[in-house]
Chain A
C-alpha cells in the first residue's frame, strides 16, 4: 500500500478500506505505549477494535525522527525511506526511541545509565537530575526530553484515531508498567496533555490483561460454558523495557488484583547482554559518540535483534555482521548460551513471580490460568520459567500476547466512559491494588510505609509519629514511594512542613499522617497534630502528591542534609499508640 499522509478532522481523502464507524464521541480510547511498539484500540459499539496505521500495522514502532525542521513519529513511519530501512533509520542517531524507559528517570538511575549505548545522545552527571537527551540533526545534537518525544508520538497517534473515528478524541486510558513511580505517571500525564489528550486512567499493564480475562470468563459464563466459580490467573507480561506480574481473582465479572510486582528488565536488556556477548570489546570500541560508532552499533543491534527473534523458533542462530573499520562479528548462538548470558534477567523474572504469589498468599496449585503476554513471552526460556513456577503445562490460549494490554485499556476506556452493552460484556469491575509502598521518612532515614504495597484501592491509612527533639515546633513530612527500607532508596514524591507544633518534651506530641488513594488513583496526604488538642494546634495540611516536578534525587539529598536532623519525626511505637 502506498504511503499517504492523513489530514486531521477531515473526512475527505479516505481510502476504500475505511468503513463508517458508529460514533461514540466521549468514549476513551485505549493506548499501549510500548518501549518498542505502540498500539491503540477503541470500543466500536460491540467489541474492541485495534486500529491500523496507513501501513496496515497494529503495532507501530515507538520512535520520533528529528529531521531539519520536521518531526515525525513512528505511527505513520513517514520519516523512514522504505519499510525495509525503517530500523536502520531509527538507529541513525536522528531518532529518539525507548522513551518509555527514560521518562521520569534521573541520571543516577541504572536504566538511564544502560541507555548510554543507544545511538542517540544520553548524557549523565550522576547527581540525580534529568539526563541530557539529544537527537542528531545535520551533524548537531539537538536536545529534547522523553516527555516531548512521547507527546509528538501521541499527537500522531491521536490524529490516526481521529481519522478512523471521524470525530475528535479527548480521553484515553493508557497502560503503564507496574514499576512506574507516581512521578513517572505524572510525566505520562503531562505528555498526554501536551498531545491534547486527557489521561483518564493509567492502568498497570497486567491489570488491563486481567480485565480482558475477566470479560472472557464472564462471556463463558453467559454461554453456560464456565462454572461461575472464582478463577485465579497469574499474568506475566514482559516487553522490551519492563517486566510485570500480577495475580487476579475473577468471578462474576469482578476481578480483584491480589498482587502486583514489576521490575525494569526487558528485551532491551537481553539485547544489550547479547550484543556484549558476541562482541566482548563492545564498551571499549564504542566509548565515544562518533558517526562510525553509531553506524556500527546500529548494524550490531539489528543483527543481534534478528538473532534473538530467530532463536525463539530454532535451536541455534548465527550472528554474522561486518561492523566496518575491520571489526567483524561471527558467532553461533544456541539456547544454553543464550540462557547463560541472560541468567540474571531470568532470575529477576522468577523473583517477581514468586513475590507475587507470596503477596497474594497463594501457592502455584491455586492458579487456574497462566497468561503470558508481551514480546518477550515468545522466548522459550521465559515461557518454561513462568509455567514451571506455576506448575502448569500450558499457558492460557485465548489472549493475544501483543494485543492484550491495549484491548484491556480500550475496555476500561469504554467502562470508565459509562458505556454499557446490552450483552453485558462491559459489566465488569476491576478492584485495583497499589503496586508500591507509600510512606514518609522517619527516624532519620527509615522509610515508614503507611500504605503497604498491594493494598486495595481506594484506600485510606494513617500512622502516628512523634517529635524527636524537646520543644520541636516544626516537622518535615517527606513522602516516598518504593520498596527500599531506607528512605533514600525510594522515590521522593514531595514534601511539606508541619509548623506550629505546641512546645512539649520529645515523644509526647502525636502527629498523624494519613494517606488516601481515591478510585482515580489520586494520592493525598493529610498531616497534623492530634495530641495535644486545642486551639493552639495548627490546622491539618492536605497535599496532593506528587508535588515534585524535577530532580528528585538531588532534592532528597538536599532535604536530608539541611533538615534531616532538625525536622525529623519518629514512628510512635505501637505500644504507645492508643
Chain B
C-alpha cells in the first residue's frame, strides 16, 4: 500500500532508499530471509533493547547530565520482558499475519538508531522532510495500517518524530549529538548512534 504512494516530500536520499529496502524486507520476510543491513552495528541484543526502552527517557530528560546509575539497562529490562502481546487490536485482518521473530530483531536493530535513522533522514533534514518521512513510515508501521506490526515499532517512530519535530528538543538533541560526530566525519552515519548508546549506560 505504502509503496504505491511516494513520499510527498520526494527528497530521496540514500538513507531513505536504505530504509525503503528495510521496509520491503519487512513485508516480505514471510517468504525471504531479511537482507542483512551493513549499517547496523553488531551490538548485543540486550543492549539494543535496553536502549530502545530508554529512548523516551532520553528525550524528556535534560541531555547534559552527570552520569548516575549504571543499571539503566536493568531498569528497562523488566518492561522489555513483560511487553504485552502484540497489541495489534481486534481487527480481523490482523490474524492473518502474526509478527515473525525476525520482526523483533529488525525492530531491535532499528531501535539502536538515532531519531534521524529511525525516520531515514540525514541530520540536516528540513521540518517538511521530517513530517513527510513520519507520515510515510507511519503508513507502514502503525498497527492500524500494517496488520501485524508491533505497536512498539510505531511508538519508536513517533518518539523519533517527537524529538525532531519540536525545534527545541531537536536543537537539544543535535547539540548533544554533533560534537561526538566531529572527530571522525567519515563515520557520520554510525557515530551518533554510538553516542546514543553511551548515553543509555549513564
Contacts and interface: CB of A to CB of B under 8 A. Distances in A.
Interface of A: 26, 198, 200, 228-230, 251-254, 256, 361, 415-418, 420, 427, 429-431, 456, 458-462, 510, 512, 514, 516, 518-520, 522, 524, 526, 528, 530-531, 533, 540, 542, 574, 578
16 contacts: A253-B5, A254-B135, A256-B135, A415-B144, A418-B91, A429-B144, A430-B144, A460-B151, A462-B79, A519-B151, A528-B78, A530-B75, A530-B78, A540-B82, A542-B84, A578-B202
Contacts of B71: 531, 578
Contacts of B136: 252
Contact of A520 (B89, B92, B147): B89
A520 B87 CA distance: 8
A458 B78 contact: no
Question: Which of A461, A510, A518, A524 has most B Cβ within 10 Å?
Answer: A518
Nearest to B74: A533
Contacts of B89: 518-520, 522
Given A252-B135, A519-B144, A460 B8 contact: no
Given A431-B138, A530-B75, A533-B74, A518 B84 contact: yes
Contacts of B88: 518-520
Interface in B46-79: 56, 61, 68-69, 71-72, 74-75, 78-79
B8 A458 contact: no
Interface in B150-187: 151-152, 154-155, 158, 162, 166
A456 B91 contact: no
B155 A458 contact: yes
A171 to B, nearest CB: 8
A111 B187 CA distance: 62
Nearest to B143: A519
A254 B87 contact: no
Contacts of B135: 251-252, 254, 256
Contacts of B158: 431, 456
B145 interface: yes
Given A26-B92, A458-B151, A519 B87 contact: yes
A302 B32 CA distance: 68
Contacts of B142: 429, 431, 519
Contact of B8 (A26, A252, A459, A574): A252
Contacts of A520: 87-90
A518 B151 contact: yes
Interface residues of B, number: 41
A512 B79 CA distance: 9
A426 to B, nearest CB: 10
Contacts of B72: 578
Contacts of A540: 78, 82
A542 B69 CA distance: 26
Contacts of A542: 82, 84
Instruction: Pick the 5 closest A-B CB pairs, nearest first.
Output: A518-B87, A578-B69, A520-B89, A418-B93, A519-B143
B82 to A, nearest CB: 5
A251 B92 contact: no
A516 B69 contact: no
Contacts of A229: 8
A252 B155 contact: no
B191 interface: no
B15 interface: no
A416 B91 contact: yes
B131 interface: yes
Contacts of A458: 87, 143, 151, 154-155
Interface in B63-118: 68-69, 71-72, 74-75, 78-79, 82, 84, 87-93
B28 interface: no
Contacts of B31: none
Given A417-B92, A458-B154, A429 B56 contact: no
Contacts of A510: 75
Nearest to A418: B93
A460 B55 CA distance: 11
A516 B84 contact: yes
B194 interface: no
B139 interface: yes
B33 to A, nearest CB: 27
A245 B87 CA distance: 28
A495 B158 CA distance: 30
B8 A526 contact: no
A228 B8 contact: yes
Contacts of A200: 90-91
A26 B87 CA distance: 21
Contacts of A460: 79, 151-152, 155
B68 A578 contact: yes
A268 B92 CA distance: 39
A522 B91 CA distance: 13
A413 to B, nearest CB: 11
Contacts of B78: 512, 528, 530, 540
Contacts of B139: 253-254, 429
Contacts of A578: 68-69, 71-72, 75, 202
